[in-house]
Structure 1
């Protein structure tokens, strides 16, 4: 959990710096970020399904 909070905090700080210096964000568009979230959830879903089928 600590690493997630550290990554989120770092991202927020970098976002503030980029915005204050008017540097465009190198992040992918919102649609790409939604796809990454879907990939993450899919990776977490398969072990959960396997666990349910084994019980």
Structure 2
């Protein structure tokens, strides 16, 4: 989630700078971005319809495993670092 917020913040900053120097943004118009969102959502309708007709898995599971990764991209997740044997030894020595 943090990269998305950073991206939004950077975009807002650039937009403010463009506004201050009266330059048009090279980004596509909002109507085109809404169309792209429609494409992403529309791509999910045929698999959803197939799932409803076959009544296999629950819709909530399908949304979580199929729709979210495709529409929103894979969100970054942290990994817990593994403790090495040196770390374990240092913890025992400190006790």
Q: Any stretches of 5+ residues in structure 1 without a counterpart?
A: none
TM-score normalized with structure 1 length: 0.68
Q: Any stretches of 5+ residues in structure 2 without a counterpart?
A: 58-95
The count of corresponding residues between Structure 1 and Structure 2 is 53
> Deviation at 1:7?
0.6
Residue of structure 2 in register with 1:14 after alignment:
14
Give the structure with higher Rg (CA): 2
Q: Is 1:36 equivalent to 2:36 in the alignment?
A: yes
Taking only aligned residues, the RMSD between alpha carbons, in angstroms, comes to 2.3
Shift in alpha-carbon separation, 1:2–1:34, aligned structure 2, 3 A: same
The C-alpha deviation readout for 1:9-47, integer Å capped at 9, x for no partner, is 00000000000011111111221010122234346x47x
In structure 2, the residue corresponding to 1:18 is in which secondary structure?
helix
Cα distance in 2 for partners of 1:15, 1:40 equals 25
Specify which structure has the higher proportion of helix: 1
TM-score normalized with structure 2 length: 0.44
